[in-house]
């Protein structure tokens, strides 16, 4: 019988039926190196033509090939490996799912032995179904007999039997370190491992642990209900827990009442360390404990010693919480956070990420080579002065510059802008934008289409597009532009044959689009106020050329214009 078919039937049977199994399925016994060598070559016929493995015999042969390649130094690299023995959280904030994400984020491979399946979300735990003990044993055997696990991390171990099975597996397959997160109650208050496991935890698991990481409630339960409410209580607790046999103890103070820091107390048997981190104000703390323990395991797997591993893990959690404090997943009181620091961008327009902070459009400075020549300035100096006066974004619009000179200037301007936290866009020249890694481009209606520019630049760059009409504005939104430049508002000499759309035209464009808009064309000190007074919510600022760059002192003009704009529309700042 094909091995894979047997395996999937077993999983289906155990997780979906009600779990009594008459005879265990055939399980591959641990394979000795010699056996592997013997089976090499002999089983080639059990591979399908595509090379996919069809039977256990073939799996053995494939394993042997990999082992042999490793032995002969065939360029194979050992990967740091954590095995998590824990429960599944359907909401994926805690449990196995948090462990997988934490290890992946820390660059460590993570295999999984699932002890229980929970129906869980941001409201709480709606159901728990334990995986049969013999099947937990089978998963342990599968992973540990085959893979070179460095560190085992435990989470939800819902019955004394499972703890004993784990202990046996660890005796048979010793690993470098054991991290025990003694999960008992979820933050929502639901019981994940009852009092029946307390004794076996204390007697059978803690003595094997390199570190145990209880939260306040768990530490209290392990200590027979001792009250833990202050850091001094936590100091006593770590010492008492240490007497139960673990080499290190970390009592986590995520739930310490009335503390503005998140303080954890670490004890190595000799010294106590209070580990402080600023407490992040957020609802998204579901899974912090699992993540912390997995990160510790991951750092140990990479070869770290214990205190640095704990410190790195704590910083990782704090950073991820801070990054995720505004993401919204689920309706309940405790949300998950983002281990990969990728989700915290408001999503709009086909799920495209917003890459532009609309308030950057407030005072948008567009350079002009003719004006710089006239006043004898380098483009970098002009940009520096504009930013000094308060320009919030720069666009390099160099219509007659030679490519090589333009690129050199663009690179210097990038340094100027980035050291001052101001985005830099390039007008039209996508090649220059790519070459100097600018923050984005601005295109006109007859330049490269926004969609093509997006393909070339990728999702993370800003693309602005000039629009005179509501139709163009709607198209810009559909094409995935980040902002609209709308004008000319007033007559201007900077652009020849440019249609003036006036304040009415600007209003029509703003009302027809959800994108932020910057007004352009003939705007200066005398009329900026009138533009912003339109009070349109998506009109975020004005773009100026001559009002800054065709003046003797760019920074003074920028400063005055900034004041005018601030007075006109304090809410857009
Ligand atoms: N708001 C917060 N800001 C910063 N760090 C926090 C915050 N909440 C928890 N932590 C840290 O996260 C880690 C996990 O601690 P916590 O006490 O939350 O564990 P836990 O109760 O086991 O978590 P969970 O059961 O949700 O997985 C600790 O290092 C703790 O200090
Ligand atoms: C499955 C699982 N493990 C651990 C925790 C603790 O956060 C949880 N809520 N769910
Ligand atoms: Mg916990």
Asked if ipTM goes beyond 0.85, one says yes
**Which residues of the chain register pLDDT less than 50?**
1-73, 346-352, 569-573
> Which residues share a beta bridge with 276?
263
Closest Cα to atom 10 of ligand 1: 254
C-alpha 88 to ligand 2 mean position (Å): 8
Residue 443 beta carbon below 6 angstroms from any ligand 2 atom? no
Average pLDDT for the chain: 85
**CA 75, CA 480: separation in Å to the nearest integer?**
44
C-alpha 172 to ligand 2 mean position (Å): 27
Asked whether the bond before 474 is cis by omega within 30 degrees of 0, the reply is: no
Question: Given this model, what pLDDT does residue 75 score?
Answer: 75
Question: Given this model, what pLDDT does residue 23 score?
Answer: 38
Tokens of 450: 């926004």
Closest Cα to atom 10 of ligand 2: 95
Question: Given this model, what pLDDT does residue 478 score?
Answer: 86
Question: Given this model, what pLDDT does residue 495 score?
Answer: 66
Q: Which helix (H) or strand (E) element contains residue 472?
A: helix 470-479
- Helix 95-105 and helix 288-301, axial crossing angle in degrees, nearest 10: 40
Question: Given this model, what pLDDT does residue 568 score?
Answer: 58
Residue 118 beta carbon below 6 angstroms from any ligand 2 atom? yes
Closest Cα to atom 3 of ligand 2: 95
Ligand nearest to the CA of 252: 1
Residue 277 beta carbon below 6 angstroms from any ligand 1 atom? yes
Ligand nearest to the CA of 263: 1
**CA 457, CA 433: separation in Å to the nearest integer?**
9
Question: Given this model, what pLDDT does residue 343 score?
Answer: 85
Ligand nearest to the CA of 122: 2
Residue 317 beta carbon below 6 angstroms from any ligand 1 atom? yes
C-alpha 573 to ligand 1 mean position (Å): 35
Question: Given this model, what pLDDT does residue 69 score?
Answer: 47
Closest Cα to atom 6 of ligand 2: 186
Question: Given this model, what pLDDT does residue 284 score?
Answer: 96
Using the structure block, give the residue that is written with the tokens 């970390």: 250
C-alpha 183 to ligand 3 mean position (Å): 5
**CA 533, CA 82: separation in Å to the nearest integer?**
60
C-alpha 9 to ligand 2 mean position (Å): 27
Give the three-class secondary structure for 535: coil
Q: Which helix (H) or strand (E) element contains residue 291?
A: helix 288-301
Closest Cα to atom 4 of ligand 2: 95
Residue 186 beta carbon below 6 angstroms from any ligand 2 atom? yes
Phi, psi of 102, deg, nearest 5: -60, -45
C-alpha 14 to ligand 1 mean position (Å): 33
**CA 480, CA 348: separation in Å to the nearest integer?**
9
What tens digit of pLDDT does each residue of 32-66 get? 333 333 333 333 333 333 333 333 343 444 444 44
Question: Given this model, what pLDDT does residue 460 score?
Answer: 87
Cite the active site residues: 252, 285, 287-290
Residue 89 beta carbon below 6 angstroms from any ligand 2 atom? yes
Ligand nearest to the CA of 336: 1
- Helix 379-389 and helix 403-419, axial crossing angle in degrees, nearest 10: 30
Closest Cα to atom 19 of ligand 1: 289
Number of residues assigned to the chain: 573
Question: Given this model, what pLDDT does residue 571 score?
Answer: 39
> How far are the Cα atoms of 230, 250, 274 from residue 260, in angstroms, in the given order?
13, 19, 14
What is the DSSP secondary-structure string of 433-468?
HHHHT-SEEEE-TTSS-HHHHHHHH-TTSEEEEEES
Question: Given this model, what pLDDT does residue 465 score?
Answer: 98
Question: Given this model, what pLDDT does residue 189 score?
Answer: 76
The sign of the torsion formed by the CA atoms of 541, 545, 551, 556 equals positive
How do beta strands 352-353 and 393-396 pair? unpaired
Question: Given this model, what pLDDT does residue 144 score?
Answer: 98
C-alpha 89 to ligand 2 mean position (Å): 6
Residue 97 beta carbon below 6 angstroms from any ligand 1 atom? no
Tokens of 409: 């200037």
Give the three-class secondary structure for 14: helix
Task: Pinpoint the alpha helices (H) of 109-207.
Answer: 133-146, 160-172, 196-200
Q: What angle do CA 324, 327, 328 make, to 5 degrees?
A: 140
> How far are the Cα atoms of 15, 19, 127, 159, 165 from residue 194, in angstroms, in the given order?
21, 20, 14, 8, 17
Residue 290 beta carbon below 6 angstroms from any ligand 2 atom? yes
Residue 283 beta carbon below 6 angstroms from any ligand 1 atom? no
Q: Which atom belonging to ligand 2 lies closest to the Cα atom of 88?
A: 1
What tens digit of pLDDT does each residue of 437-493 get? 999 999 999 999 999 999 899 888 999 999 999 999 999 998 889 999 999 999 887
Tokens of 549: 């760059």
Tokens of 210: 């390199």
Q: Which atom belonging to ligand 2 lies closest to the Cα atom of 125?
A: 9
């Amino acid at each position: 019988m094909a091995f894979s078919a047997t395996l999937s039937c077993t999983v289906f049977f155990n997780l979906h039926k009600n779990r009594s199994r008459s005879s265990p399925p055939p399980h591959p016994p641990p394979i000795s190196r010699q056996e592997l060598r013997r089976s090499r070559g002999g089983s080639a016929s059990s591979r399908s033509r595509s090379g996919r493995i069809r039977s256990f015999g073939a799996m053995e042969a494939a394993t042997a090939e990999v082992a042999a390649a490793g032995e002969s130094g065939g360029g194979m690299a050992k990967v740091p490996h954590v095995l998590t023995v824990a429960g599944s959280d359907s909401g994926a904030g805690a449990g196995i799912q948090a462990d997988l994400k934490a290890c992946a984020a820390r660059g460590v491979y993570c295999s999984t032995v699932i002890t229980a399946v929970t129906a869980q979300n941001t409201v709480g735990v709606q159901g728990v179904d334990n995986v049969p003990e013999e099947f937990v044993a089978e998963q342990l055997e599968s992973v540990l007999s085959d893979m070179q696990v460095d560190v085992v991390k435990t989470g939800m171990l819902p019955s004394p039997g499972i703890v004993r099975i784990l202990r046996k597996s660890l005796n048979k397959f010793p690993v470098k370190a054991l991290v025990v997160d003694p999960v008992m109650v979820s933050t929502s208050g639901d019981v994940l491992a009852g009092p029946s496991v307390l004794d076996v935890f204390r007697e059978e698991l803690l003595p094997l642990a390199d570190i145990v990481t209880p939260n306040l409630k768990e530490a209290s339960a392990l200590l027979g209900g001792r009250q833990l409410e202050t850091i001094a209580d936590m100091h006593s607790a770590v010492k008492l827990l240490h007497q139960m046999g673990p080499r290190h103890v970390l009592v986590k103070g995520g739930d310490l009442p009335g503390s503005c820091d998140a303080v954890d107390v670490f004890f190595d048997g000799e010294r106590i360390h209070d580990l402080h981190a600023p407490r992040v104000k957020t609802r998204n703390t579901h899974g912090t404990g699992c993540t912390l323990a997995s990160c510790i395991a991951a750092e140990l797997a990479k070869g770290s010693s214990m205190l640095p591993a704990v410190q790195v893990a704590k910083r990782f959690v704090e950073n991820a919480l801070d990054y995720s404090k505004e993401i919204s997943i689920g309706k309940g009181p405790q949300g998950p956070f983002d281990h990969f620091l990728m989700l915290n961008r408001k999503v709009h327009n086909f799920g495209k990420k917003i890459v532009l902070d609309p308030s950057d459009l407030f005072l948008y400075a567009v350079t002009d080579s003719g004006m710089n020549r006239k006043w004898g300035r380098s483009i970098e100096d002009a940009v520096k002065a504009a930013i000094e006066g308060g320009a919030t974004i720069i666009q390099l619009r160099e219509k007659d510059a030679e490519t090589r000179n333009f690129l050199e200037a663009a690179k210097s301007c990038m340094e100027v802008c980035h050291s001052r936290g101001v985005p830099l866009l390039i007008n039209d020249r996508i090649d220059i934008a790519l070459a100097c890694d600018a923050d984005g481009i601005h295109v006109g209606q007859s330049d490269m289409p926004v969609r093509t520019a997006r393909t070339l630049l990728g999702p993370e760059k800003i693309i602005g597009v000039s629009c005179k009409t509501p139709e163009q504005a709607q198209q810009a939104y559909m094409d995935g532009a980040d902002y609209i430049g709308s004008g000319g508002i007033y007559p201007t000499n900077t652009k020849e044959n440019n249609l003036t759309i006036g304040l009415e035209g600007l209003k029509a464009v703003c009302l027809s689009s959800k994108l932020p808009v910057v007004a352009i064309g003939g705007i200066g000190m005398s009329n900026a106020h009138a533009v912003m007074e339109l009070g349109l919510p998506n009109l975020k600022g004005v773009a100026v050329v001559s009002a800054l760059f065709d003046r003797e002192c760019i920074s003074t003009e920028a400063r005055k214009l900034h004041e005018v704009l601030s007075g006109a529309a304090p809410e857009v700042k």
